[in-house]
Each structure stands twice: as structure tokens, then as C-alpha cells.
């Protein structure tokens, strides 16, 4: 039984694919998008079933902050974790203002991610 | 310090910073992939310990992926090193193909980079006397302009035409047609002027053409200015 749906949006394909495999091993269904436009199309189709979105800040076609804004327009309740290699404190503040649930740095701590996912599942209103 | 040297120093430092930032981003991405892959390897090992029957190929794929990314890291560091050494000698003879290839690789670290293809094998062009670092800066700026023009899914084609005895043409084009609104920017134009190269926009076919003389008067003047510049002089004595 799958615990939920996780969308990973990152243009670094291997990173996204590896992370998807690791979340799948932990009982989540993972979807991967490599650019902002494809991610937004996917979210529109699956708005009611997505548990969490992991979003990179640097995407080839759009800024991650722009994608975050559009996600929040589609459904403000979807939790979005910003996952970045080099995000600054300013980036973090901006993302939090735009409604990001958390701001995490690469490399990702998978146990920390699982704890967050469990918390989201237990408290769906977050 | 005169205006030209001031321009080279200030814009050079910005360029150096920008390229280094993109390289550090690339290296962080590589390490993040290696970290995720080794994490997956640990996950699989744990499952195997619990008695789960896993295919050996899953482990082999992980270790092959790690080896591949370590190689990617080495290649990136090699390019970083070549770039860092391009400031060693302010004016020198360069191979245009090698300079172009390095600059394309460096610009490829940008998240919005398009696919770039060098369309000819004219790798043995006559040497060009130039300021290598500034020429890289010019090519980099033009690449960014063309990436923004065609987008991340677009293609940029570049060819070197060195049939002329006095210099070489570096020609940028795209099957999607380049949108050159606002081109050249002030900074690009100033860089062009300092290097003594020429920019032309060909209408049919739609191409962007940089004419680079093998030796330009401006480069000879610049070499003298750099030699007379007290800061450069002191640097040489160290």
C-alpha cells in the first residue's frame, strides 16, 4: 500500500531519478519532472492526489519561485519543499513568503524527508 | 589605470565570479547525485540483509553510476583548471576551436543552456593573437544571449570559417532562428571594441558572425597598455 504521491521537480535527471527510487523503496509513489512547465501540467492533473512536491530552485525553463507561486495558485494546501544546491538565506525567506513548507539543501537527508512526509500524512491540513 | 584596462578588470572579475558560481553548482549537483546513489546502494544492501532477493544488476548499476559521476566531476575540474589558467598571460596566441570548446562547456553548466553543436571540424585554424580571457567572456556572453533566444530545448549551431587569410569567422545560427532583439548589448559591444573584432548579423541565412582577425591593431595596442600598467608590471615581478 502506497503512503502517498511525491513529485520531484529537478533538472538534474539522475539526482531526481535516484531520489524517486529511494522514496519508492520507502513506500511512496514518486513522479519525476525535469522542468517547470511539465511539473505544472502534472500538478493540474493530479492536484487532489499529490502528498508532497520537492522543487529545485534552478530549472531550465522557469525559476523555482515562479513554479512555487503557480503551484500555490493551483492549490495553496499542497506542501512544497524547496530543494536547492546553493540557495541563500534570501532565497529561503522569499520561498517561505511564497508558501514553501520547508527549505532543504542538497545533498538530501532521506530520513529527515521521511519524517516530514510522515508529519504531513498525520496532519493533512499542513 | 585607463578605461579599457578598468573595463577588462571589472567585467573580467564579474565573468570569473559567474563562471565559478556555475562550476560550484555543477560540482554540488555531482556530489548530490553520488550521495543519492550511495544512499540507494545502502538501501539495497539493507534490503538484501533482510533476505529480499535483489538482482545483482541493481548494485552494479549504482556503482557504475557513481563511477560515471566521479568522471563527470574530474572533467568539470579539468575545465575549471583550464579556465583559471586562461588569465595567466593577458595577451597570447590561442587556438580558436579550443577556446570555443572550453567556453561552450563552461556555459553548459548554466541551468538554461541550450544544446550547442560545433558544425565543422576546422580545428586547426591559424593561431589568433588575443586576450584569451576577454574572448572567452565575449563568446560566453553571446552564448547566453543565444540560449535566451532559443530556450533550453533549442539548438545552437556554431561553425568556424577560417578560409580568409586575415582572420576567422565564428558563426552562430539556430534551426529555430535567433531572435536578436537588443543585440548587441552595451557590454558585448564594448568587449568587441576592446578585442578589435567585428560583429555582423547576416540576414539570409540568419546568422550572427564574429570576425576575429589573426592579429588586430587594437590587440597590439592593448598588449602595450597592459605591459605599461603598473599593476600588471608589479604582478610580473612577483
Residues A107, B36: contact at Cβ < 8 Å? yes
Query: Rounded to two decimals, what is the model's pTM?
Result: 0.88
Integer CA distances (angstroms), B52 to A2, B46, B180, B190, in order: 19, 9, 58, 65
Distance from C-alpha of B149 to C-alpha of B112, rounded to nearest angstrom: 11
Q: Please, which residues have CB within 8 angstroms of residue B37's CB and are 6 or more apart in sequence?
A: A14, A18, B62, B65, B66, B69
pLDDT of residue A63 exceeding 70: yes
Contact residues on chain A for B24, CB-CB shorter than 8 A:
86
Note the pLDDT tens digit of each residue in B27-45.
999 999 999 999 999 999 9
Mean pLDDT of B165-177: 91
Report the residue of A19, A30, A33, A85 to disrupt the B interface, i.e. the one with the largest count of B CBs within 10 Å: A85
The pLDDT, as a whole number, for residue B230 is 56
Note the pLDDT tens digit of each residue in B118-153.
987 666 678 999 999 999 999 999 999 999 999 888
Residues B187, B141: contact at Cβ < 8 Å? yes
- Would you identify the CATH topology of the domain A5-122? Rossmann fold (3.40.50)
Cell of B224: 602595450
Q: Is the CB of residue A2 less than 8 Å away from at least one CB of chain B?
A: no
Provide the mean pLDDT of chain A.
93
Å between B181 CA and nearest CA of chain A: 20
Query: Collapsing DSSP states into helix, strand and coil, what is residue A79?
Result: coil
A-contacting residues in B 94-123 (Cβ below 8 Å): 111-113
Å between A81 CA and nearest CA of chain B: 17
Cell of B172: 552562430
Among A54, A58, A65, A71, residue whose Cα is nearest residue A120: A54
- Report residue B237's pLDDT band, with 50, 70 and 90 as the boundaries: very low
The pLDDT, as a whole number, for residue B231 is 54
- Report residue B205's pLDDT band, with 50, 70 and 90 as the boundaries: confident
Q: Please, which residues have CB within 8 angstroms of residue B119's CB and are 6 or more apart in sequence?
A: B157, B158, B159
The pLDDT, as a whole number, for residue A124 is 64
**β-bridge mates for residue A33, sequence order:** A9
Provide the mean pLDDT of chain B.
90
Report the residue of A107, A109, A113 to disrupt the B interface, i.e. the one with the largest count of B CBs within 10 Å: A107
The pLDDT, as a whole number, for residue B233 is 46
The pLDDT, as a whole number, for residue B45 is 96
Q: Within 13 A of B230's CA, how many CA atoms are on the CB side?
A: 2
pLDDT of residue B81 exceeding 50: yes
Provide, rounded to the nearest whole percent, the portion of chain A with pLDDT above 90. 87
Question: What pairing do the DSSP bridges indicate for beta strands A50-56 and A80-84?
Answer: parallel
CA B166 to chain CA mean position, Å: 25
CB A107 to CB B29 under 8 A? no
Distance from C-alpha of B73 to C-alpha of B24, rounded to nearest angstrom: 11
Mean pLDDT of B207-219: 94
pLDDT of residue B236 exceeding 60: no
Residues A23, A16: contact at Cβ < 8 Å? no
Amino acid at each position: 500500500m502506497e503512503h502517498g504521491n511525491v513529485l520531484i521537480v529537478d533538472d538534474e535527471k539522475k539526482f531526481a531519478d535516484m531520489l524517486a527510487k529511494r522514496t519508492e523503496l520507502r513506500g511512496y509513489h514518486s513522479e519525476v519532472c525535469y522542468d517547470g512547465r511539465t511539473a505544472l501540467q502534472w500538478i493540474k492533473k493530479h492536484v487532489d492526489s499529490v502528498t508532497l512536491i520537492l522543487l529545485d530552485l534552478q530549472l531550465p525553463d522557469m525559476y523555482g519561485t515562479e513554479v512555487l507561486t503557480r503551484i500555490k495558485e493551483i492549490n495553496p494546501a499542497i506542501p512544497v519543499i524547496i530543494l536547492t544546491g546553493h540557495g541563500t538565506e534570501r532565497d529561503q525567506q522569499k520561498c517561505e513568503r511564497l508558501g514553501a513548507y520547508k527549505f532543504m539543501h542538497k545533498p538530501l537527508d532521506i530520513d529527515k524527508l521521511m519524517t516530514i512526509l510522515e508529519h504531513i500524512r498525520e496532519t493533512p491540513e499542513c | 589605470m585607463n578605461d579599457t584596462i578598468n573595463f577588462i578588470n571589472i567585467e573580467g572579475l564579474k565573468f570569473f565570479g559567474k563562471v565559478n558560481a556555475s562550476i560550484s553548482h555543477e560540482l554540488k549537483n555531482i556530489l548530490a547525485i553520488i550521495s543519492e546513489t550511495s544512499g540507494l546502494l545502502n538501501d539495497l544492501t539493507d534490503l538484501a540483509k533482510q533476505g529480499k532477493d535483489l538482482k545483482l544488476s541493481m548494485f552494479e548499476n549504482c556503482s557504475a553510476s557513481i563511477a560515471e559521476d566521479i568522471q563527470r566531476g574530474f572533467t568539470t575540474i579539468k575545465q575549471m583548471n583550464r579556465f583559471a589558467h586562461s588569465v595567466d598571460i593577458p595577451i597570447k596566441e590561442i587556438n580558436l576551436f579550443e577556446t570555443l570548446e572550453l567556453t561552450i562547456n563552461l556555459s553548459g553548466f548554466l541551468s538554461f543552456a541550450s544544446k550547442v553543436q560545433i558544425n565543422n571540424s576546422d580545428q586547426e585554424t591559424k593561431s589568433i593573437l588575443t586576450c584569451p580571457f576577454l574572448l572567452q567572456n565575449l563568446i560566453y556572453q553571446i552564448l547566453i544571449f543565444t540560449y535566451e533566444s532559443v530556450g533550453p530545448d533549442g539548438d545552437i549551431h556554431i561553425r568556424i570559417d577560417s578560409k580568409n587569410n586575415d582572420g576567422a569567422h565564428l558563426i552562430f545560427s539556430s534551426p529555430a532562428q535567433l531572435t536578436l532583439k537588443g543585440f548587441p548589448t552595451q557590454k558585448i559591444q564594448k568587449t568587441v571594441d576592446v578585442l578589435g573584432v567585428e560583429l555582423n548579423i547576416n540576414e539570409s541565412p540568419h546568422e550572427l558572425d564574429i570576425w576575429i582577425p589573426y592579429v588586430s591593431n587594437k590587440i597590439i595596442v592593448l598588449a602595450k597598455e597592459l605591459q605599461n600598467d603598473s599593476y600588471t608590471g608589479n604582478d610580473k615581478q612577483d
